[in-house]
Structure formats: structure tokens, C-alpha cells
Amino acid sequence: MTGHQPSDGRPRDAADAADDELIARLRRIAARADPVPESLLTAASAAFGLRELDVRVAELVRDSAVGASATAVRGLGARMLSFESGDAVIECEVTARGSRRDLIGQLVGAVAAALRVQVAGAGAVDVPVDSRGRFSASGLPAGPFRLRCSLADGSTLMTSWTAV
């Protein structure tokens, strides 16, 4: 903010400079006392860095973890996710194995030519899809993920980022 002209047109004075210094000091203190977790920075960067304007987004419409008790969410059961975009639906079952996740799913209402699992902060994994739209991936790292489906009609369908 140093060197910035106040919006009311008045010249900067010593009080403005003192305010700028105070704000800078508070930012440094906050950065040391409560830094932004690296995993959050990575996920945020991935979310913005991988946007594509011509892709249809399948939004999360059902999540079995929503409304479940804390013990159910952290239990050994599978988490069920449903993403929708128009007539296309992607149903997923995510099972936690320690810090890894196994994913089983099916694309309905569209034909996938290829499917890629993207995990924030990790490499993407290409996953085979059978003629019925079924797919699976094992040993994915925990964290926000999304699915990118290249459809047979040449379009692309991508799920919203979801933390698992």
C-alpha cells in the first residue's frame, strides 16, 4: 500500500504511512502465527490452474457424508457421491484405506471415451472405462479430487472438486 493515493484525493501523510506499516507488520505476524496450510494452497492453485471454459461441469448433488455423524464419516464404510450435468450422471463409491482412497464408479447418460482422475497436488491418473461406463481406481491419495471424462461426442464432462 505504500505510495498509494487516498481515494478522497488528499495527499498521503505520516498517519497513512504508519497505517501501512502497521498493516504490513500484522500480515507478517499472522503469516507466522497461523500460516496457510500447504495442502490448501496446492488445492486452491489446482482449482484455478485447471479451469477450462468449454467443459461441462457435473456438480455434486448427493454425498452420503452430508448429515452423517462424525463416527459414520470416519468409519470404514464407503462414501457415496453423485454428480450431475443435464442427463449425464456420475455415481461414485469412495473407500478410505488409511491415507489412500479406492474409487469405483459409473457414468450414466453419456458415453466416455476416456476418464482421468485428478487429485489436487498429485498427478492425474488415466482410468479405463468399460462399455457400460464403469470405472475404478485404487490407491489414490486422500484430498480433493475431480473426474474428467472425455465423451464419445467430443465434449468434456468434469466433476466439481470434492474432498475425500
**For position 156, which CATH number holds?**
2.60.40.10
| Residue 137 falls inside a structural domain | yes
| Residue 7 falls inside a structural domain | no
The answer to whether the beta carbons of residues 156 and 56 sit under 8 Å apart is yes
What's this model's pTM, rounded to 2 decimal places? 0.65
DSSP state of 142: S
pLDDT for 1: 46
* C-alpha cell of residue 111: 458415453
Residue 148 has pLDDT above 90, yes or no: yes
| Residue 9 falls inside a structural domain | no
| Residue 24 falls inside a structural domain | no
| Residue 46 falls inside a structural domain | no
| Residue 8 falls inside a structural domain | no
* C-alpha cell of residue 155: 465434449
Mean pLDDT of 74-89: 86
Q: Please count the structural domains in the chain.
A: 1
Mean pLDDT of 41-56: 65
The answer to whether the beta carbons of residues 106 and 90 sit under 8 Å apart is yes
Confidence of residue 73 (pLDDT cuts 50, 70, 90): very low
| Residue 81 falls inside a structural domain | yes
CB atoms within 10 A of CB 95: 15
Residue 100 has pLDDT above 80, yes or no: yes
For residue 27, which of 35, 17, 37, 18 has the smallest C-alpha distance? 35
- Tell me the C-alpha distance between 162 and 61, whole Å: 11
Residue 145 has pLDDT above 60, yes or no: yes
- Tell me the C-alpha distance between 5 and 135, whole Å: 58
| Residue 26 falls inside a structural domain | no
